[in-house]
Amino acid sequence: MAYKEIFWMACDSTEQLRAEYGPFHTRIEAEAEAKKMGFGFLLRYEHMIGDNDDIQEVRCIFIELPDVPQRASQPARKLHTRCASCGESAVHEEGWQAEVWADIHEFEHTRHRVRLFEQNRADGLKEIAGWRDACA
């Protein structure tokens, strides 16, 4: 017999690139955790389960929470390095980590060129052009 399974997640935005935390069995649990983390949204997942215990349909419903204080920290930012020659890549928290990774990669692989990208929730993924020239 088919049935519906529901669970809740706390999340920071409605964008595809978002942070989710959970799952929770009830909305109250998810809302309490979202407020602790400074997240402004809940995400309700509904799974329609078929007779063979397989997922037939998935529904996602975003619920915006009123009056959630925004976190004081800066928007989440990641730095991505990627070699334009071989495609090897890495993700970094700090600029110096990206620079060290690029130095090592370009030293070990002559004639390879590493590109740097910055990713944040507001702008998405953007290349930082000429970043190696600025460091010299």
- Check pLDDT > 70 for residue 123: yes
What is the pLDDT of the chain when averaged over all its residues? 85
Percent of the chain with pLDDT over 70: 88
Q: What is the pLDDT of residue 72?
A: 44
88-109 average pLDDT score: 91
What predicted TM-score, i.e. pTM, was given to this entire model? 0.50
Which parts of the chain are beta strand (E)?
A: 3-11, 20-24, 41-49, 55-64, 77-83, 89-92, 114-120, 124-127
Is the confidence at residue 121, as pLDDT, over 90? no
Tell me the pLDDT band of 14, cut-offs 50, 70 and 90: confident
Q: Which of 20, 79, 67, 12 is nearest to 41 (CA)?
A: 12
Looking at residue 115, its amino acid is R
112, amino acid identity: H
Which residues 6+ apart lie within 8 Å of 10 measured at CB? 20, 21, 22, 24, 30, 31, 33, 34, 37, 39, 41, 42, 43
Question: What are the tokens at 102?
Answer: 């690029």
